[in-house]
Structure 1
Amino acid sequence: MISPDAGLPVDFPENLAGWLSQLEGRHPKGQAGIELGLERVRQVSEALGQQPFCPIITVAGTNGKGSTVAYLESILSMAGHKVGCYTSPHLLAYNERVRIGGRAVADAGLCAAFARVESARRQAGNVLLTYFEFGTLAAWEVFAQAGCEVLVLEVGLGGRLDAVNLYDPDLALVTTVDLDHQDWLGPDRESIGFEKAGIFRAGRPALCGDSQPPARLLDHAGRLGVPLQLIGRDFGFQKDAENRFEWRYWGKRADGSIQRRSLAYPGLRGAVQLKNAALAIAALDVLAPRLPVTMQAIRQGLIHVELPGRFQVLPGRPALVLDVGHNPQAVQVLAENLGTMGFFEQTYAVLGMLADKDVAGSIAALRGRVAHWFLTDLEGPRGLKAEALAEQVGRADPGIALSCHRSPAEALAAAQEVAGENDRILAFGSFYTVAGALQALGRA
Structure 2
Amino acid sequence: MSGPTSPVRPPVAVTGLGLVTSAGLGVDATWAAVCAGRSLAAPDPVLADLPVDFSCRVPFTERELGQHVGPRKAWRMGRPAKFAVLAAREAVADAGWDPASWDGARVATVIGCSFGGAEKWEEQQQLLTEGGPEAVSALAIPMIIPNLPAGEVAIDLGARGTSIAPATACASGATAIALARDLLATGLCDIAIAGGAEAATGRMTATAFWSMGTLSQRTMAPDEASRPFAADRDGFVLAEGAAVLVLERAADAAARGARPYALLAGCGSTSDAHHPTAPPEDAHGAEAALRAALAEAGVHPDDVDHVNAHGTSTALNDATESALIGRVLSQRPSVTAPKGVLGHSLGAAGAIEAALTALSLRHGCVPPIANLLVPAPECDIDCVTKQPRRQNVAVAVSHSFGFGGHNVVLALTRP
Q: Same fold (TM over 0.5)?
A: no
Structure of higher CA gyration radius: 1
Query: Which TM-score bucket, shorter chain as reference?
Result: under 0.3
- Higher relative contact order, structure no. (Cα contacts within 8 Å, ≥ 6 residues apart): 2
TM-score by length of 2: 0.27
